Structure formats: structure tokens, C-alpha cells
């Protein structure tokens, strides 16, 4: 990982957990799982998450009130971060799409709006779960 060496001990533990889990976790779930590593207070988790988000290593999923490790190291090169979230199995897939990104940018220019963050969350049923419906 490019900037792993600049992370604090707590930031490394949070990132390692999210990378290992490969799914979104709430801050309190992160706290519970990292108690063995010496975490005692939610503030420890929130501070680590705040820095990891700034570095583009972690994303916050608003609809789940949870956090997930970035699956694409080149993520900071894109202005749009997008996820599909399965309502049945809770599988989460991060993706990028240049057409969607370009359309959002053009529309923002049309309405004279300067977005600071663009995170798209699409909830539905994944192919694996759809075959059981």
C-alpha cells in the first residue's frame, strides 16, 4: 500500500480490519473487533476513519452508516465513487463508470454546482441472489 508507512498504529489496525473483512462495517463493529488491539473508545475509531477517508483508502457508505476499504487504489483519480449493494446478501461492489461520471459533471456545470464529494450507492439484488428469487 502506497502510504501504509505514514499511517498511525490505530489507522493501520482499522485499515487492516476493513481490508480483511471485504465488507462494510459500522464504527462500533470496528471498535468491538479491535478491542483486542487496545481500542477502548469510539473516538479512536472515528479519528482513524477520518484520516483513512481523507487519504482515499476508506469510503463511508451513507445508506449503511458503515465504512469499507477502497477496492481500487486508483480511486482518487475519479471524481465519482460508486457502489452496488445487494439487499439480500449485503455484498458490496465498488465500480467506476466514465459515462456516469461525465454526465454528473456536465449536469453539475449546467446547474452551477461544485460538488465536493460524489458517492453513488445503488441498492438492489445481485445476480447470485436474483437467481433464487
Q: Tell me: the pLDDT tens digits for 4-50? A: 788 999 999 999 999 999 899 999 999 999 999 999 999 999 999 99
CATH class assigned to 4-69: mainly alpha
Between residues 74 and 120, the one the model is more confident about: 120
pLDDT tens, 96-132?
Answer: 888 999 999 999 999 999 988 889 999 999 999 988 7
* pLDDT of the residue at 77: 60
81 contacts 59 by C-beta, under 8 angstroms: yes
* pLDDT of the residue at 1: 47
The span from the CA of 14 to the CA of 113, in Å, is 34
* pLDDT of the residue at 80: 86
CA distances from 30 to 46, 76, 93, 96, 131 (A): 10, 24, 20, 27, 32
* pLDDT of the residue at 78: 63
* Edge-to-edge order in the sheet of strand 81-86: 92-95, 81-86, 119-124
* pLDDT of the residue at 79: 76
CATH architecture of 82-126: 2-Layer Sandwich (3.30)
Burial call 83-92: b when 16+ CB within 10 Å, e when fewer: bbbbeeeeeb
Q: Which among 48, 51, 42, 65 has a CA at the least distance from the CA of 14?
A: 48
* pLDDT of the residue at 7: 93
- For the chain, what are the domain ranges? 4-69, 82-126
* pLDDT of the residue at 72: 74
| Site of grid cell 453539475 | 108
CA atoms within 13 Å, Cβ hemisphere of 13: 19
Which uninterrupted H or E stretch holds 58? strand 58-61
The span from the CA of 71 to the CA of 58, in Å, is 9
What share of the chain has pLDDT > 90, as a percent? 77
Q: Is the pLDDT of residue 2 over 60?
A: no
82-126 and 4-69 share a CATH fold: no
Amino acid at each position: 500500500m502506497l502510504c501504509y508507512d505514514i499511517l498511525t498504529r490505530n489507522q493501520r489496525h482499522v485499515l487492516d480490519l476493513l481490508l480483511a473483512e471485504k465488507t462494510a462495517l459500522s464504527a462500533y463493529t470496528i471498535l468491538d473487533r479491535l478491542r483486542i488491539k487496545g481500542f477502548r473508545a469510539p473516538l479512536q475509531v472515528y479519528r482513524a476513519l477520518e484520516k483513512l477517508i481523507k487519504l482515499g483508502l476508506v469510503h463511508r457508505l451513507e445508506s449503511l452508516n458503515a465504512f469499507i476499504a477502497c477496492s481500487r487504489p486508483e480511486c482518487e483519480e475519479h471524481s465519482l465513487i460508486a457502489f452496488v449493494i445487494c439487499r439480500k446478501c449485503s455484498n458490496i461492489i465498488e465500480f467506476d463508470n466514465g459515462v456516469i461520471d461525465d454526465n454528473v459533471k456536465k449536469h453539475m456545470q449546467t446547474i452551477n454546482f461544485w460538488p465536493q464529494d460524489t458517492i453513488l450507492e445503488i441498492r438492489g439484488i445481485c445476480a447470485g441472489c436474483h437467481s433464487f428469487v
